[in-house]
Structure 1
């Protein structure tokens, strides 16, 4: 884990109908994606953590909260930067700092077990979409 905060990756929201083309574009540019369908969150994800990019698209018909948030973003802005992920030593402590600046938390998830952990807090602060990530994965 990093001792200091650092830029981890950028998340682009992409409409489902344009996802395959966007994946092809970034693949042709040299990115290598791991794909996952997170049905509990209602999104399809293409992630290249080594190169710092993630593409997310809402699953058609999903009513999950993350899918709803991504759909709202796409309706208001079209495809674009959904959030910037910052790796921090302690996501909860970073959230407390952001609360002093009037942040609104949109989503949080976490898991731990078998020696691994991940804490992720997605929020908006001072108009910026940020996600704090603490993990050893």
Structure 2
């Protein structure tokens, strides 16, 4: 997952589209981010929504302020996000963000953390693109 400044998100997506990626765009206003996702290609580009005070928008904004555009986290699809996070805690991880959705037979568990200085997101879901 790449974090990019909002004013560059369209250009970054255009470049990756030129490389053959196909994105679906959405705004997650409750999280305060704009998301461009190519599920099949495994590429996600996020930007904070201007003016949002949501926690995730603040985290992404802080990352951009410190590092500029770049790799925000590496998303790993796992069978059980909570079990993966529990294992990472044994190695001193710190959790930045968690979200859990379920309904109509679909679930998504996402846990964003840092362990050994590695930014990781554990994702467990049965959602299909």
What TM bracket, shorter-length normalisation? over 0.9
Work out which of the residue numbers 13, 16, 22 in structure 1 matches 2:3: 13
> Which residue in the other structure is 2:86 paired with?
96
Aligned to 1:3: none
- Deviation track 1:85-133 (CA, whole Å, cap 9, x = no partner) reads 1111110000010001111100000111211111000001110000001
Alignment RMSD: 0.6
Please state if 1:130 is matched with 2:120: yes
Q: Name the residue aligned to 1:105.
A: 95
State the aligned residue count.
127
TM-score, normalization by structure 1: 0.91
In structure 2, which of residues 41, 57, 62 is the aligned counterpart of residue 51 of structure 1? 41
